[in-house]
A and B are shown apart, each in its own frame.
Chain A
């Protein structure tokens, strides 16, 4: 397995081997699925749309509906305006969504299609909407694409219509699973705060089996709610990379103050989220959440001997990694390697990702390697040089875990070889408890597997 990966680190400048990111458009498609009655539209070659739908379907095991401009060589030379106009007409006529959310691709960006102008010239039925986001695949990553589509929602839909801001909070959940979005909504609901979450893929990509197929399932953020987000008194952007740009745009356009918090993975990030709601909306934390927190601290303490001092390598999307790294530190583990494929400065450079993780390590008095815009080939080499007890990351990590015989816990996007994960949260106290269980089980299954008969124990 991966036996051509050498231990010696080599300086590479020709691109990436075994990426820890993918391209912008899939993030934009995922975000657009979080609008109720919305058809995501990929303005590019058919292959982009086919790849994104396939990939999202494999992760969620749910139908992923999206359309494409089906570029041909002619359209690539003369511009894709005609294709997009035809597509808009056909999508409304055949599938009848309320909104079409167009995102671009490297093809349409390279030829410079001017999407707003094309949309202006398109036949759009009364009461229907077409929004768009520029998502060039040669910048950033799928996280950037998600961020850009959420910005598009704000730019096209959010309006400040009231003189006074309403006692409500906008929550931008970031590129997380529908199960996480449900949990974030539950927490906000328990706090008794009126909230608008967008995008919201719960009820869309975790829809129930009813014997009936719904092209546009019941879930998703409603257009009127996204409009009303301009009247909220606060936007909480969960995750710097996936959510803060849209929150800042909303602040500029509608004077809704923006606050960026970590994706609430782990105890500290969840505390921060709840404390923010408590402070901004003057609501006491209900006992039910305090009890959940207490239970989490209880299991963390009861089982600390399984975790303390264990070395971990973590890879995936930057917002999730920030929370995950903080949480494994809370468990007394040592994050030795932390790597994301997404460029740290969103477009280029190492940016705040490396700074933030390094600061966490420093505060814990630990050292480790941290990298933005890295790839899994490099992560594997790091692990060969400095072995770890556990690997945390998406499905692609299983090849490294097998090659190096390391316990592996699947967290993040995509998870293609296991089901159910997208229904269950990793955010909030309950999500953290789930992480404790998953990590603990992986470590202990290995301990049991490796133990000699005389060391094999009933109680651990």
Chain B
């Protein structure tokens, strides 16, 4: 069943008036006949709403910084924030050098009441000393939690002093949880910090190979980045830095030499992508390695950017070989999945990316949304000039970069760049809405009440979101698929990842466990047999014996 405006209104009527006015702007029914469809995004969640959103700390330390493996990430604050962001995101990493993968370590200043009262700067400085002594990391980050900003601990000054003392890249991120309106603020803070303090710190002036690229906004969840790199290496690309899955300080500091930056998750990393273009003249290409068609298109667009015939030919050869490998494997899963419908609600890019992969399995996405994206992730970057800054977004300053006098190079001629922009998503992203079919629902910051209502009306066959809402549809008998952490499976990216995804989704539909929800006694009368015409006494007697 499709949802019309009237039904939408009825759903919203349950809300108090203020909430209704607010939420109405975050939901739309896709209609391609309209020239533009505006959605409100990246604004405050109303207090008291069961939201999936997290905070700036989660976006900064948890998402962007956390996966960098050869650095120790110190969390300055009470114990919780470090603890919850410890090993919970499935950003996999392999050490490049012995004893230089610190992801299994959770380092917190574990602030106590006295630290809140008297300040925690000294304790933080001691923790840095201890980390240097014990771990000898390649670099250190310090992330702030809520109380740090409130009590006025100057973590930037502590980092600066420690940098001088230890001769090590030590940087601080003021990503207190209350900043901004979601994780998104933290992405921005982390992007600024990495750009300002790490990228370009290396002394490389030239790329190590002809086709050197960075992959931005790829976090190697379940090994996604390894599958993407496998394909790219086979074609002949050299991946310099991945930001930040399986990433490292050592790779990141020379990321400026790449000839092209790929952007997988636009939301979390677009700041670095645009700053790299301004500073070093490196364009970025919006790619999507989730889904077979999307992967093929991304590979072809990359080849077209470099414009080398041999590379284009090699790209096609690899695509052909990969397809031959996976197509037969996919077939049985397609049979199970075909004709089904899905909800697809994820953070800031996967709500879009997984729709194509679902479609390839024959699953139609009837509702999609993002937890913490901005309007440009829905409507495309053309809308950027129209987005008004508000009090919350103004709190996260933009970092103004200028062309690097020594290192700025046009990677391709300006004319060719303009031509290419017409053909491929070069330094551009057109957003989710454009790809959605008419009548489907787009919801920003989908909350619990709306989840229940939309499920009631649309009855999806599978609900794909995260851990907090996973077991809600499941109690209703609807299969779920976590798209934040893949239900501890993966990789889902690239060609082989598509097969893993198909297998896992099909498993969700096919598991026999759904058949047992209704106990057999619910549909059967307690007494079987025919009712005889008899006096009450004799019947009771019969039952009793």
Residues of A within 8 A of B (CB): 1-4, 6, 10, 12-19, 21-23, 25-26, 41, 44-48, 50-55, 57-58, 61-76, 83-84, 86-91, 93-95, 105-107, 110-111, 136-139, 141, 207, 209-215, 341, 347-348, 377, 399
Residue B145 contacts which of A75, A87, A106 (CB distance < 8 angstroms)? A106
Residue among B48, B130, B391, B449 with the highest chain A CB neighbour number at 10 A: B48
Tell me, rounded to whole Å, the shortest Cβ–Cβ distance linking A367 to chain B: 28
Pairwise interchain contact A14-B58, C-beta atoms closer than 8 A:
no
Pairwise interchain contact A23-B78, C-beta atoms closer than 8 A:
yes
Pairwise interchain contact A86-B84, C-beta atoms closer than 8 A:
no
Pairwise interchain contact B392-A4, C-beta atoms closer than 8 A:
no
Residues of B within 8 A of A (CB): 14-16, 19, 44-58, 77-86, 88, 98-99, 102, 104-113, 115-116, 123-131, 133-135, 145-147, 149-151, 176-183, 391-392, 395, 448-449, 452, 466-477, 517-518
Pairwise interchain contact B110-A51, C-beta atoms closer than 8 A:
no
Pairwise interchain contact A54-B47, C-beta atoms closer than 8 A:
no
CA–CA, A44 and B57, complex, Å? 13
Tell me, rounded to whole Å, the shortest Cβ–Cβ distance linking A292 to chain B: 28
CA–CA, A13 and B124, complex, Å? 10
CA–CA, A15 and B45, complex, Å? 33
CA–CA, A44 and B182, complex, Å? 13
* Minimal Cβ-Cβ distance residue in B for A403: B104
Pairwise interchain contact B452-A106, C-beta atoms closer than 8 A:
no
Tell me, rounded to whole Å, the shortest Cβ–Cβ distance linking B14 to chain A: 7
Pairwise interchain contact B47-A68, C-beta atoms closer than 8 A:
yes
- By a CB distance below 8 angstroms, the chain A residues around B104 are 1-2, 18, 399
Pairwise interchain contact A14-B129, C-beta atoms closer than 8 A:
yes
Pairwise interchain contact B146-A110, C-beta atoms closer than 8 A:
yes
CA–CA, A207 and B19, complex, Å? 31
CA–CA, A44 and B475, complex, Å? 29
Residue A21 contacts which of B79, B134, B151, B471 (CB distance < 8 angstroms)? B79
* Minimal Cβ-Cβ distance residue in A for B124: A14
Residue among A16, A41, A44, A47 with the highest chain B CB neighbour number at 10 A: A47
Tell me, rounded to whole Å, the shortest Cβ–Cβ distance linking A57 to chain B: 5
Pairwise interchain contact B84-A138, C-beta atoms closer than 8 A:
no
CA–CA, A237 and B471, complex, Å? 32
CA–CA, A4 and B469, complex, Å? 36
CA–CA, A12 and B129, complex, Å? 10
- By a CB distance below 8 angstroms, the chain A residues around B133 are 10
CA–CA, A21 and B382, complex, Å? 47
CA–CA, A174 and B185, complex, Å? 38
Tell me, rounded to whole Å, the shortest Cβ–Cβ distance linking A71 to chain B: 5
CA–CA, A23 and B111, complex, Å? 11
Pairwise interchain contact A73-B108, C-beta atoms closer than 8 A:
no
- By a CB distance below 8 angstroms, the chain B residues around A399 are 104
* Minimal Cβ-Cβ distance residue in A for B123: A14
- By a CB distance below 8 angstroms, the chain A residues around B477 are 209, 211
- By a CB distance below 8 angstroms, the chain B residues around A22 are 79-80, 83-84
- By a CB distance below 8 angstroms, the chain A residues around B47 are 67-70, 83-84, 86-87, 90
Residue among A12, A23, A55, A57 with the highest chain B CB neighbour number at 10 A: A23
- By a CB distance below 8 angstroms, the chain B residues around A63 are 469, 471-472, 475
Tell me, rounded to whole Å, the shortest Cβ–Cβ distance linking A122 to chain B: 11
- By a CB distance below 8 angstroms, the chain B residues around A137 are 77-80
The 5 closest A-B CB pairs, nearest first, are A47-B55, A14-B127, A23-B80, A90-B48, A87-B48
Pairwise interchain contact B150-A76, C-beta atoms closer than 8 A:
yes
* Minimal Cβ-Cβ distance residue in A for B449: A94
A selection of 30 A-B contacts at a CB cut-off of 8 Å is A3-B99, A16-B108, A18-B104, A26-B80, A41-B48, A47-B183, A48-B80, A50-B468, A51-B58, A51-B84, A51-B85, A53-B468, A55-B84, A58-B88, A58-B467, A63-B475, A66-B50, A69-B48, A70-B46, A71-B178, A76-B178, A90-B19, A90-B46, A94-B49, A95-B448, A136-B78, A141-B79, A207-B475, A213-B472, A399-B104
Pairwise interchain contact A62-B45, C-beta atoms closer than 8 A:
no
- By a CB distance below 8 angstroms, the chain A residues around B147 are 106-107, 110, 138
- By a CB distance below 8 angstroms, the chain B residues around A105 are 146
Q: A19-B82, A72-B392, A137-B80 are in contact. List 14 more A-B contacts (CB 8 A).
A: A15-B111, A18-B105, A47-B54, A57-B468, A69-B47, A89-B16, A94-B14, A94-B19, A94-B449, A138-B112, A211-B476, A211-B477, A213-B476, A377-B105
CA–CA, A333 and B494, complex, Å? 51
Pairwise interchain contact B54-A46, C-beta atoms closer than 8 A:
yes
CA–CA, A385 and B456, complex, Å? 58
CA–CA, A95 and B176, complex, Å? 29
* Minimal Cβ-Cβ distance residue in B for A417: B488
Pairwise interchain contact A212-B130, C-beta atoms closer than 8 A:
no
- By a CB distance below 8 angstroms, the chain A residues around B179 are 73
CA–CA, A47 and B448, complex, Å? 16
CA–CA, A109 and B391, complex, Å? 24
